[in-house]
Amino acid sequence: MEQTLRVKRYDPENPESEGYQEYTVDVAETTTILDALLTVREDVDGTLSMRCSCRASICGSCAMRVNGQAKLVCKTRVNSVSPNGETVTIDPLGNLPVIKDLVVEFKPFWDKMKVVKPYLQPEGVVPVAEYLASDGDMAHLVGVVNCIQCGACVSDCTVLEVDPSFLGPAALAKAYRFVKDPRDGHQKDRLGALNESSGVWDCTRCMQCVEVCPKDVDPMGRIMLMRDMAMESGFNNTSGSRHTDSFAKSVKKNGRLDEAKLAIDSMGMFNVPAMLDSAPVGIRAMMKGKFPWKAHKSSEPEKVKRVFEKIEGE
């Protein structure tokens, strides 16, 4: 069966030629996107640049965007994204600078990994042989340790599209791996750093990192857990923690969210600079008829209260 691939091309020596180029190759039921791209490179166009290595979903180097979503192309069969022979569009990973064609620069990725100090910082008596951790203590870390640092989650993170300073799902998942390691002695210090701007509170919970992760690491879930841990450790005077507290109180009281109060509580009642910064957003909301002038209560608030009571009881 013939398959058309629409591949993004970029040559740093001739940037104005950037665009898509189509190739048609023969594929079988078992052909992966990587197989098809290698056929193009070896038999059709030797100038096509891409990364690949293990071809077994282990190294993570072949992550690319396929039809707009990040995937490991070595484990993605052509027929899974083009069941009826539709053209398959292939782009380099998003949110990272493109070097050439499908090859991206990973330096920003690694720089953010370094920020979270991805190594143990034990405290106390130094053991004679090694720092030990029981199987039970480490069982909950198996999922996050499976991360192969392919960059798929970073590629499709909607926050990084608008705020490159955000640490991103990969670095934050790596941070969780050490925050929860029983051998590490700096949990509170780590949580304090992650509680700052560009850390755990900047995630918008869009679920994209969870959806595209090829190893089920669940970066967003790890970020949410670190938010809870930060608040439990006493880091409550942040817009994120105030937002969480106000959200819960509002829904518990009204049965639904009071968005106007949520914004004020999150910024801080007396945080005048933040209020002024948000004024243009509020004005645009009013002009569009979207400003919540009052909190609308649920038709069955008692049911909502019982949900909260059950959760708080547990």
pLDDT band, residue 204 (cuts 50/70/90): very high
DSSP assignment, residue 127?
P
Per-residue confidence (pLDDT) for residue 72, from 0 to 100: 98
Q: Which residue has the higher pLDDT, 277 or 25?
A: 25
Task: For 107-232, give the CATH class.
Answer: mainly alpha
Do 2-104 and 107-232 show the same overall fold?
no
Please name which of 195, 181, 288 lies closest in space to residue 243, comparing C-alpha atoms.
195
Angle of helix 219-232 relative to helix 239-254, nearest 10 degrees, comes to: 90
What is the per-residue pLDDT for 254?
Answer: 73
Task: Decide: 3 and 19 in contact? Cβ < 8 Å.
Answer: no
Instruction: Answer whether residue 295 shows pLDDT above 60.
Output: no
Residue 287 has pLDDT above 60, yes or no: yes
DSSP 233-259: TT---SHHHHHHHHHHHHHHHHSS--H
Q: What is the mean pLDDT of the chain?
A: 90
**Predicted pLDDT at 38:** 98
Q: What is the pLDDT of residue 291?
A: 62
Question: Residue 297: its pLDDT value, please?
Answer: 63
pLDDT at site 147: 97
Q: 54-82 pLDDT, tens per residue? A: 999 999 999 999 999 999 999 999 999 99
- Is the C-alpha dihedral spanning 254, 258, 264, 268 positive or negative? positive
Write down the domain spans for the chain. Answer: 2-104, 107-232, 239-313
Decide if 63 contacts 52 (C-beta within 8 A): no
| pTM for this prediction | 0.85
Instruction: Tell which CATH architecture fits domain 2-104.
Output: Roll (3.10)
Do residues 13 and 37 touch, judged by C-beta distance below 8 A?
Answer: no
* Residue with the larger pLDDT of the pair 32 and 298: 32
What is the rounded average pLDDT of the residues 284-297?
Answer: 66
Distance CA 56, CA 164 (A): 31
Asked whether residue 84 carries a pLDDT value surpassing 90, the answer given is yes
Q: How confident is the model at residue 244 (pLDDT cuts 50, 70, 90)?
A: confident
Closest CA to 94 of 164, 147, 154, 150: 154
Q: Looking at residues 82-101, what average pLDDT do you find?
A: 97
Q: CA-CA distance, 204 to 243, in Å (whole number)? A: 12
pLDDT given for residue 288 in this prediction:
72
